[in-house]
């Protein structure tokens, strides 16, 4: 009986350790259904929600490191004011912290004829600085208070109202 007692104690200790590790890893990666929305996480880090398109279906976030994965139903692309084309892959990754998004993956912008990955976004006062690694550009934060919609950006209502009035074909 005394020979099985140390073995039983070892199994009980090992089981307790597994339960503790499982519980701690679950709290390090909270389910998006139990936490704030992706847009609220951005706002809590001093970013406007409009840097993400409408339609985020979920995300994973490690609050201790800021590493995240963000999920969309599918690839998403749109033009902004006819001058910039943006593309989001179905999964966007990176690290979020106060005033900074770094190590971004899954977001690109078309510059001339090339698609360049946006690798970092930094908020400096009332501007957002977007970096593609070798170059960056700053834009007023006022441009990002509303989230664009996949496919049409901010022109969705305008295009829809033109189509309903029969004016879309003549405006193309």
Please give the share of the chain, as a percent, with pLDDT higher than 70.
70
pTM: 0.69
Question: pLDDT, tens digit, for every residue of 37-64?
Answer: 999 999 999 999 999 999 999 999 999 9
CA distance linking residue 101 with residue 96, whole number of Å: 5
Q: How confident is the model at residue 79 (pLDDT cuts 50, 70, 90)?
A: confident
Higher pLDDT, 153 or 165: 153
What count of residues does the chain have?
172
Domain boundaries along the sequence of the chain: 1-30, 32-171
- 87, 76 Cβ separation under 8 angstroms: yes
The dihedrals phi and psi of 43, each to the nearest 5 degrees, come to: -60, -35
**Topology of the domain comprising 32-171:** at5g01610, DUF538 DOMAIN (2.30.240)
Please give the share of the chain, as a percent, with pLDDT higher than 90.
52
Pick from 41, 58, 119, 52: which is nearest to 88 by CA?
52
């Amino acid at each position: 009986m005394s020979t099985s007692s140390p073995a039983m104690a070892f199994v009980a200790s090992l089981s307790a350790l597994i339960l503790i590790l499982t519980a701690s890893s679950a709290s390090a990666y909270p389910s998006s259904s139990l936490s704030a929305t992706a847009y609220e996480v951005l706002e809590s880090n001093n970013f406007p929600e409009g840097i993400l398109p409408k339609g985020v279906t979920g995300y994973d976030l490690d609050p201790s490191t800021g590493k995240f994965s963000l999920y969309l139903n599918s690839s998403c692309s749109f033009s902004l004011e006819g001058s910039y084309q943006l593309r989001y892959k179905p999964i966007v990754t990176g690290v979020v912290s106060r005033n900074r998004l770094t190590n971004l993956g899954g977001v690109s912008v078309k510059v001339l004829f090339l698609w360049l990955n946006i690798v970092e976004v930094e908020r400096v006062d009332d501007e957002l600085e977007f970096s593609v690694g070798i170059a960056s550009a700053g834009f007023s934060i006022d441009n990002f208070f509303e989230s664009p919609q996949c496919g049409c950006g901010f022109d969705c209502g305008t295009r829809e109202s033109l189509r309903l009035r029969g004016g879309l074909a003549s405006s193309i």
